[in-house]
Amino acid sequence: MSNRSIINTALAPAAIGPYSQGVRVGNLVFFSGQIPLDPVTMTVVSGDIEAQSVRVFDNLQAVSEAAGGGLRDIVKLTIFLTDLADFTIVNDTMKRYFESPFPARSTVQVAALPRGVAIEVEAIMALPFAG
């Protein structure tokens, strides 16, 4: 595809598999799932679900800015949790990063996530059309 560009930033963790941090097609950017990896050390952040959520949303912010937008441009989030009991804490953390009107969102519980983390978040961002 000629209208496809790869998004990459050192401010978010490097891909740990055969995928890109993000892919832009037209005005849409599709984010790969972000887990709570520190982009410098590539290790999982220590701490509870709040600490993990903060790292994930910081990573999403870095990728969104590398793509030419910001968290305000995200239109859809999918949150994967290993324990839905963490739902309220993740919601509270998310409110520190996003303002109304909030993006559409799905939250699902999964059996396991890469590196044994408690949360992974993927997103779709819509950038303003140029011109």
Helix, strand, coil percentages in the chain from 3-state DSSP, rounded to 5: 25, 30, 45
CA 16, CA 76: separation in Å to the nearest integer?
A: 23
Number of domains in the chain: 1
Mean local confidence (pLDDT), 39-55:
97
What does DSSP assign to residue 13?
A: P
Residue at 105 is within a domain: yes
With a pLDDT cut of 90, the percent of the chain lying above it is 94
Mean local confidence (pLDDT), 8-23:
96
> In this model, does residue 131 exceed pLDDT 80?
no
**What is the domain range of residue 10?**
4-126
Give the pLDDT confidence score for residue 129 in this predicted structure: 77
Q: In what order do the strands lie in the sheet with 28-31?
A: 4-7, 22-25, 28-31, 119-126, 74-81, 104-109
**Mean of all residue pLDDT scores within the chain:** 96
Give the pLDDT confidence score for residue 14 in this predicted structure: 95
Give the pLDDT confidence score for residue 2 in this predicted structure: 61
pTM of the model: 0.95
SS3 of residue 53 by DSSP: helix
Report the CATH number at residue 92. Answer: 3.30.1330.40
Give the pLDDT confidence score for residue 1 in this predicted structure: 46
SS3 of residue 96 by DSSP: coil
SS3 of residue 58 by DSSP: helix
pLDDT band, residue 130 (cuts 50/70/90): low
